[in-house]
Amino acid sequence: MKKFKTVTSCLALIFFLQQTEAQESTDKEWTAVSQYINVNEYIGKEFRLSADAKVDLHDSNPWAGVWARVDLSNGKIGFFENMGQNPIVENRWKRYSISGTIDKEGTHLFFGAVVGGSGTFWFDNFQLEILVNGDWIEIPVENAQFEKEANDNVMPKWVEGIRFFDIWRATNYEISSSTETNMNKGFSLQIRSQK
C-alpha cells in the first residue's frame, strides 16, 4: 500500500510539473480563460452559456465575448461561437448568452471568456445550462462568480488558454479579481491589457 501511495504521489508530481512547463508565455493580442465539461451524456442536446460582462475599451479595436466550443472525437471542432460578430463593447454590466447544440461526435465543451486588444474587461456570474427533456438543467461551473480570488495571474478553477493541453500565459494581459461587480458584492474576473 505504501508503494502504491509513493507511485501515485510521483505521478501527480510529474503531471503537475508537465502542466507547469506546458504553460507557454506568449505575447498574443488576445487571451481567454476557460473551463470544460465532458459531454458524452449530452450528445444532441441544446446548451446555453450566460455571463455578466462589461468593458472599458482603450481604442476602437478591442473586443470581448463569451465563448464556447465543442471538440469532436476525431480531433476536429464542432460548434464554435465567440461573439466575434457581435462583441461586448458596452461599459455597463449586461447579461450575455450564446447557445448551441452538442455535436453528435462531441467529447468536450470548452467555454469561458475571451478578450482581444487594449482595454479592461470584467466577467461575472457564469451559468451553463443544458436542455434535457424540455427543462433547462444547470451544470455546475466552478468558481462561476469568481469568489475564489486570483493570485499571480491565475484564476482558481479556470485556465488561461482554449484547451486543457494548450495552456498559455498571455504576457500582454493581467488576470485578477476585482470588486467591480454587477451585484456590488464579492468579486468579478478582471482581464486588463498591459498596452
> Where in the chain are the domains?
2-193
Which of 188, 122, 124, 176 minimizes the C-alpha distance to 152? 176
The per-residue pLDDT for 166 is 58
The per-residue pLDDT for 11 is 30
The per-residue pLDDT for 76 is 95
The per-residue pLDDT for 171 is 84
The per-residue pLDDT for 113 is 98
Predicted TM-score (pTM) of the model is 0.84
The per-residue pLDDT for 24 is 54
Tracing cell 424540455 back to the chain, one arrives at 134
Please, are residues 130 and 139 in contact by the beta-carbon 8 Å criterion? Answer: yes
The per-residue pLDDT for 168 is 63
The dihedral over CA atoms of 20, 26, 28, 31, expressed in degrees to the nearest 10, equals 20
Please, are residues 169 and 11 in contact by the beta-carbon 8 Å criterion? Answer: no
The per-residue pLDDT for 10 is 35
Residues 6+ apart with CB under 8 A from 40: 107
The per-residue pLDDT for 14 is 31
Cell numbers at 179, concatenated? 470588486
The dotted CATH code for 2-193 is: 2.60.120
User: What is the mean pLDDT for each group of 10 consecutive residues in the chain (195 residues)?
Assistant: 38 34 59 95 98 92 94 96 96 97 97 95 98 97 96 93 66 92 87 88
Please, are residues 188 and 177 in contact by the beta-carbon 8 Å criterion? Answer: yes
The per-residue pLDDT for 22 is 44
